[in-house]
Structure 1
């Protein structure tokens, strides 16, 4: 019998307890993902707790889920997402913090970075023409931006888990 995608995504969570993973709200589109064949980094905010978010990253060892927290505010100036390297107008980037995996995280140790406030990095790297609100890295192709996003997201997973993802 096949394990449902929702269960596999919850099992992929690396930096939270099983209870936290079971309580997180998965949007309908996430339940439709095939965790075994992820090509892109996917992110979403928990609709029941907007300060909580999830980043689902394809790695060489399968999907890795990272539980994130953010303050309610966003950047007050134009800023660049550290993962997709897309520059956003005011409010488009927010500081997200992820508890480290294991005992360090339970004792409050976190890793933080600036990420697209809507966690839409995979969509943003596909933008062909810059707009006033969204500007992908100049001089790069969509494929280069997708590869770069995945590499930086895997590095972030490694920083959270203390290993090479």
Structure 2
């Protein structure tokens, strides 16, 4: 059964066709989110298409989704996510590309950046540091969450051409 949240998330996709949005898998935990109260950036990999991911960015007008394509494999060395600034061990960060909105995207123009391979940035900014995942030291969880929202909004603006 399709929830109103799922319908709203599919309609919020900014850089893909309606068909692509209809084919993406929306996890159960995403369907349980409140789109009107969304404060954090959420992301997930599509279990039916592992090379595909979705980033859901809160905006003043509600959440906006970005369809991502992952490069094959992850990084071959420790690397830092450009959005949440969490450092990961080998393979914990991957290069993701997002088609630009509109005609540019239809012609193959993309924007790429390094993001947590599991797209779970919101969990990583609140995580207790471990050898595999190390959030920015000396910064509070609230500051890390705010920074994640700001950098994700900047990425969204680049994809949509609004920034």
* TM surpasses 0.5: yes
Gaps of 5+ in 1: none
Partner of 1:150: 149
The yes-or-no answer on 1:9 pairing with 2:6 is: no
State the secondary structure of the residue aligned to 2:63.
Answer: strand
> Counterparts of 1:52 and 1:118 in 2: how far apart (Å)?
11
Tell me how far 1:33 sits from its aligned partner: 1.1
* Residues 96-136 of structure 1, C-alpha deviations (whole Å, 9 max, x = no match): 000000000000000000000000100000013x2111111
Gaps of 5+ in 2: none
> Counterparts of 1:86 and 1:71 in 2: how far apart (Å)?
19
Equivalent pairs, count: 161
Tell me how far 1:71 sits from its aligned partner: 1.8
Partner of 2:127: 127
> Counterparts of 2:24 and 2:127 in 1: how far apart (Å)?
30
> Counterparts of 2:45 and 2:56 in 1: how far apart (Å)?
12
Please give the residue correspondences for 1:93-108 in structure 2 after superposition, counting only pairs within 5 Å: 93-108=93-108
State the secondary structure of the residue aligned to 1:84.
Answer: coil
Q: Please list every run of at least 4 consecutive aligned residues from structure 1 whose deviation after the TM superposition is greater than 3 angstroms.
A: none
Tell me how far 1:62 sits from its aligned partner: 1.3
